[in-house]
Structure 1
């Protein structure tokens, strides 16, 4: 890997009229020509953004240009795998830690790794693996993964690796497997003693919740501190979930989705009292209703005053940024932002200083965008 400057892009902007029940906004193009970007985060106290390319590069964006950092982890790039999420530690200003998830080799195939490295100038140093999901599997699908920090711990959400046995033996229902789960660790990668399955025979002690299909979004509610995730359904039935300690989210024994081939119901929908945690929101069943979510964030800035407390979730297939009103853990759709721009939305964040909305698009010509109020 080598360090180089990417071509500097002069920000371009154009106005976009939002739906009647949402504020108008202007889109600014901050960077183009990003090869399969996946995650990004602001570096606290700076004007810089760290972002990942799935092929294995960690980049540092700032208003003067874009630089590739040295010291990124070695990744297995292929299928849906590669270098995935990135998040600055809560104490980044003191520690310099950047947390990352990536696909790496493991016994049995590949798996998702959670690790961290210190940002030192234009280099990542002291790279360490905090956790490797077990078991490794020979599959290129459903790695997840997203990172969030809450209650002094690091949470990471993973996928089920495309496991196709839709019965009770599915890997996401196996407490001995961390695939299809959310894990909770200390910031140093240790397993907390109060994790729900610590000491349970045959269970992976890192698991905080399970029964997930493919987690692609994760954020923390600014008022309640609860961890929220967005995950893909089979065909439709994509979900937004509020994570509970020890919760079983049902996949594939309870789902609002149907099979890709034939549209058959392979599990009953979530029902009260079925032992599974039902989603806070789900999209309808059916391949035409498939709304695979991606990065998500609660809006807590001042720039878009009408959107305070709303939830933003990217959409990959239908290529829009969803805006939801949230009240008491329930979501109501408000608007489809960026609809018609033909951009697969991969990640979203709120600028900590300006309150603008930053968006990362997917693909071989990925873009870093900024949404600011019109006028």
Structure 2
């Protein structure tokens, strides 16, 4: 069942030793009150965060820098060894994820817009060992077969319980015109609008759904996506979930399953920017998956996290979705069939680019300014209700 969310117009950590300011306002939600604490400021377009054993946080800045937050302070010198990126449009240095066995292998993964010549770029992933504030032995393990405008790179990375790596790739703003079923996102011979599944070293698993299929890319796990920029593995079920940018309306939350077609641009709930003309042939069609939740109008779903911590016990199991245009974090609950929106959180801070649960159980988020002005990583801390 599709749950459509119609939104009205805008009506101290052991990990990071940043003291809460006494005057910080207290925000209320349906289950917990909370305050916001700045973890690190002075960041330029922070896109993603990763927590490392020992307390460091890595933060990507879209212009191409990987930064370290250590002991509550943003180190002045970026990490060396980061690949060249195309910082244009929506491109740049994007996701950062630590290997599930980072404590022993020190591996860090980066997604980015890789130069392909003439100012063009595609989604790519590298991995390297994090040693002495540097990435060493950096190796390219995935390069998407895409081309197009400097946007919709997807670029989220997540590892499941078995160590398989999932990567999202956007449809690169390929226009949905003419025969919608011939759109690149519907074509298995490229990586436009796909979710990718690989071993941690970039090899293709033999049980991927299109291995051995003539004309199909063997890396593909699912297809028919627009621009999925939120990706999370459910900590209990192991299910793969993704949020996906719709156009003018029609952001989606999808359960990603092996070999399935998620419909872009044949089916969907959005319309063309500006005049609002219809894009899709319908909102549903046999053989094309329905989203589990839809936002109309769009909030520009940027990230996804499923909470398992103990700092906000009433939120355990909730899904948290960041919003860029919506400038909020949405908390949803799921009963196995239907999502319900419980809270719209953090409404006064700006464009929410990434949402993560820290090892300390607090909720961290980054703020992304479109004008490349310095912004911050912040965290939510619970406040006891009186």
Q: Taking structure 1 as the reference length, what is the TM-score of the superposition?
A: 0.92
The yes-or-no answer on 1:319 pairing with 2:330 is no
Where structure 2 has 5 or more consecutive residues not aligned to the other structure, the ranges are: 1-15
Partner Cα separation in structure 2 for residue 206 and residue 102 of structure 1: 18
Q: Could you say if the C-alpha distance between residues 123 and 199 of structure 1 is closer, same or farther in structure 2, counting changes exceeding 3 Å?
A: same
SS of equivalent residue, structure 1 residue 283: strand
The equivalent residue for 2:107 is 97
1:25-174 matched pairs, under 5 angstroms: 25-43=34-52, 45-67=53-75, 68-106=78-116, 109-135=120-146, 137-150=147-160, 151-166=162-177, 167-174=180-187
Q: Pick one of 196, 218, 223 that aligns with 2:231.
A: 218
**Greater relative contact order (CA < 8 Å, ≥ 6 in sequence):** 2
The yes-or-no answer on 1:255 pairing with 2:264 is no
State the Cα distance separating 1:12 from its structure 2 match.
4.7
Q: Which string of whole-angstrom CA distances, capped at 9 and with x for unpartnered residues, describes residues 47-85 of structure 1?
A: 111110001111111224222211111111100000000
Partner Cα separation in structure 1 for residue 317 and residue 350 of structure 2: 25
Partner Cα separation in structure 2 for residue 220 and residue 195 of structure 1: 17
Partner Cα separation in structure 2 for residue 268 and residue 221 of structure 1: 32
Matched-pair contact (CA < 8 Å) for 1:12–1:30? no
State the Cα distance separating 1:365 from its structure 2 match.
2.1
SS of equivalent residue, structure 1 residue 93: helix
SS of equivalent residue, structure 2 residue 291: coil
1:188-267 matched pairs, under 5 angstroms: 188-267=201-280
Matched-pair contact (CA < 8 Å) for 1:11–1:30? no
Partner Cα separation in structure 2 for residue 266 and residue 368 of structure 1: 36
Matched-pair contact (CA < 8 Å) for 1:9–1:31? no
1:256-295 matched pairs, under 5 angstroms: 256-271=269-284, 274-284=286-296, 289-295=297-303
SS of equivalent residue, structure 1 residue 103: strand
State the Cα distance separating 1:330 from its structure 2 match.
2.9
Partner Cα separation in structure 2 for residue 312 and residue 211 of structure 1: 24
State the Cα distance separating 1:107 from its structure 2 match.
6.1
Q: Could you say if the C-alpha distance between residues 259 and 86 of structure 1 is closer, same or farther in structure 2, counting changes exceeding 3 Å?
A: same
The equivalent residue for 2:191 is 178
State the Cα distance separating 1:234 from its structure 2 match.
1.2
1:7-26 matched pairs, under 5 angstroms: 11-13=19-21, 14-19=24-29, 21-26=30-35
Partner Cα separation in structure 2 for residue 222 and residue 245 of structure 1: 18
SS of equivalent residue, structure 1 residue 161: coil
State the Cα distance separating 1:262 from its structure 2 match.
1.8
The equivalent residue for 1:4 is none
SS of equivalent residue, structure 2 residue 203: coil
The equivalent residue for 1:3 is none
Q: Could you say if the C-alpha distance between residues 231 and 82 of structure 1 is closer, same or farther in structure 2, counting changes exceeding 3 Å?
A: same
Partner Cα separation in structure 2 for residue 122 and residue 261 of structure 1: 46
Q: Which string of whole-angstrom CA distances, capped at 9 and with x for unpartnered residues, describes residues 226-253 of structure 1?
A: 1111011011000010100001000000
Partner Cα separation in structure 1 for residue 243 and residue 18 of structure 2: 33
